[in-house]
Structures are given as C-alpha cells and as structure tokens.
C-alpha cells in the first residue's frame, strides 16, 4: 500500500502515535519513510518542557514508571537487566542527539539485539516514554536520603538545583517530553506531574514540621516558582544566577517560619 507522503509536511508535534519501530522491508531502521524527522535545535525546548514537567498534577507518591505500566508478570532478572540497559542507552543517545536516531543505535549501545528492544518497547513512543519516566524517577528518588542528611530547607535547595540541572542538561529528553505531551500520552504526563509534586510536597511538609518553612506554603506554588526560574535561566552560563534565585525563593519560604525567627 502506498504511504501517505503528506506526513512529511506535518510538524513534529503532529507526528503519529504508536507507529511500530520495526521498518518495512527495504527501509532504514529508525523513522519510516513517511514520518517526520526532528533534528537540531533541542536546547530551546528545555524551557517549554520545564512548564510541562511540573504544571498540573496531584500529589501521589508512586514511582512514575509504576503508575503508567499495567500490572504484568514480573520480569526475570535477565529481562530486567536488558530493559534497564535499553532505557539507559536511550537516555544517553536522546541527550546526545535527540530522538531522530536509528533504533539500532540504542540496541547496539545497550548490547542487546534489536528484537529484544522491540519486545520491551514495541513503538518509538513507548521507548521515549519509558526513558523519560526513568529519568523522572531517578530525579525524584533519593528525597528521603536528602532529608536525612541535611535540614529540609537546605535539602529543598539542593533538589531544586538538581532539577534545574536536569532540564538544562538533557535537551534531548526535553524533546522527548514534548513528544509525550503532543502525542496524548496523558498517563505518562500525569505520572511525571504526580512524582514531582510528591517530591516537592515532601520537602515542604517536612520543612513545615521542622519549623523552617512557613505555614501555608504549597508544593504547587513552589513548582510554579521553580518553572519561572528555569525559564529565566535556560541559556548556558546562567547556572549561578539560577542558584541565586533558588536561594531567594527558599528565603521567602523561610520567612515567618517559627524556626527562622
């Protein structure tokens, strides 16, 4: 059947959802001949991705990957290792080159066969979603350890610096997020919202109990302020200014707290 070549003129955000990764005979692996290619210019997407990452959402503590994956038989240890290797390789390559890559490159770096990649991630979007949610989980894992090792207000500063560094340092993943947003993967997007709001809520609530963050501060307010800081400091060389703004934000959260008098 002849392919619909009008796909080529569509924007990246309008690309089809769920297209299988496996190419037709005679086609190069990666994007099919009728698909939109997206290349270059990834860094500017980090700013819009910041808003998408933390805007909206509720406060639940489930890991993002667990929230979107249906109940299934637990993977064997070897299968889990291969799946993690694929996701790790995908994150690295997306960060280096964006998502306009041949999926063979991911399989090769993960040291698995291409059939194994297809078995775990039957569509390009599934791989992008899996890699993105893995990054969100890694960003939000360790909150308990941070709170155990430093005062909650200082832990919040450290985590927000980590978040800003994640967005600025992973422009390929920012594009992956943009793909998730515009391909209507609502469950994945909601899971990322929930995970980040839960992390911020844990810092704020722990700080309030310790008397170092003012009563009435809310995680969603902190999230909005954090997105503004990231938007204002998306260019290289602005890390120092972003850190100053984070300190100012947390100083405001301390104001009026019993322990700050």
Cα atoms found within 13 Å of the Cα of residue 201, Cβ hemisphere only = 13
pLDDT value at residue 32: 33
Question: Which tokens go with 134?
Answer: 């893995």
Q: Range of 221's domain?
A: 42-260
Q: Would you say residue 9 lies in a domain? A: no
Give Cβ neighbours of residue 246 (< 8 Å, ≥ 6 apart).
Answer: 157, 160, 161, 164, 226, 229
Give the C-alpha separation, 161 to 173, whole Å: 18
Q: Would you say residue 5 lies in a domain? A: no
pLDDT value at residue 261: 65
Question: Which tokens go with 243?
Answer: 């850190």
| Predicted confidence pLDDT, tens digits, the chain (261 residues) | 444 433 333 333 333 334 444 443 333 333 332 233 333 333 333 444 554 555 554 445 556 555 455 445 677 888 899 999 999 999 888 888 877 788 899 999 999 999 999 999 988 888 888 888 888 888 888 899 999 999 999 999 999 999 888 777 765 566 566 666 556 467 777 888 888 899 999 999 999 999 999 999 999 999 999 988 988 877 777 888 999 999 999 999 999 999 876
Number of compact structural domains in the chain: 1
Q: What global pTM score does this model have?
A: 0.69
Residue 8, SS3 per DSSP: helix
Q: Would you say residue 35 lies in a domain? A: no
- CA-to-CA dists, residue 153 to 117, 192, 210, angstroms: 42, 23, 9
| C-alpha 63: how far from chain center | 12
Task: Name the one residue in this structure whose structure tokens are 């610096």.
Answer: 161
Cα atoms found within 13 Å of the Cα of residue 212, Cβ hemisphere only = 16
pLDDT value at residue 177: 61
pLDDT value at residue 219: 93
Task: Name the one residue in this structure whose structure tokens are 């995908």.
Answer: 90
Q: Would you say residue 11 lies in a domain? A: no
Q: Would you say residue 93 lies in a domain? A: yes
129: domain CATH number? 1.10.357.10
Task: Name the one residue in this structure whose structure tokens are 């941070």.
Answer: 146
Q: Would you say residue 52 lies in a domain? A: yes
Give the number of other CB atoms < 10 A from CB of residue 180: 22
Long-range contacts of 39-44, Cβ-Cβ distance < 8 Å, separation of 24 or more:
39/98, 39/100, 40/98, 42/98, 42/171, 42/172, 42/174, 42/175, 43/171, 43/234, 44/234
Q: Would you say residue 121 lies in a domain? A: yes
Question: Which tokens go with 234?
Answer: 């998306």
pLDDT value at residue 193: 82
Cβ contact 11:178 at 8 Å: no
Q: Would you say residue 188 lies in a domain? A: yes
């Amino acid at each position: 059947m002849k392919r619909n070549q009008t796909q080529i003129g569509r924007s990246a955000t309008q690309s089809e959802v769920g297209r299988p990764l496996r190419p037709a005979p005679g086609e190069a692996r990666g994007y099919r001949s009728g698909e939109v290619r997206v290349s270059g210019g990834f860094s500017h997407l980090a700013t819009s991705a910041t808003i998408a990452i933390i805007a909206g959402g509720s406060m639940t503590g489930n890991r993002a990957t667990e929230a979107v994956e249906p109940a299934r038989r637990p993977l064997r240890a070897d299968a889990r290792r291969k799946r993690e290797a694929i996701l790790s390789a995908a994150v690295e390559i997306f960060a280096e080159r964006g998502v306009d890559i041949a999926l063979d490159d991911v399989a090769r770096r993960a040291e698995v066969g291409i059939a194994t990649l297809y078995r775990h991630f039957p569509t390009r979007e599934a791989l992008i979603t899996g890699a993105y949610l893995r990054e969100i989980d890694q960003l939000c894992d360790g909150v308990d350890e941070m709170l155990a090792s430093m005062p909650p207000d200082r832990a919040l500063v450290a985590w927000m610096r980590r978040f800003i560094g994640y967005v600025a340092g992973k422009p390929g993943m920012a594009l992956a997020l943009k793909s998730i947003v515009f391909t209507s993967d609502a469950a994945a997007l909601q899971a990322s919202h929930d995970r980040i709001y839960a992390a911020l809520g844990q810092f704020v609530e722990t700080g309030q109990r310790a008397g170092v963050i003012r009563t009435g501060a809310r995680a969603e307010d902190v999230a909005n302020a954090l997105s503004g800081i990231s938007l204002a400091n998306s260019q290289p060389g602005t890390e120092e200014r972003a850190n100053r703004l984070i300190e100012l934000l947390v100083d405001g959260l301390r104001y009026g707290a019993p322990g700050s008098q």
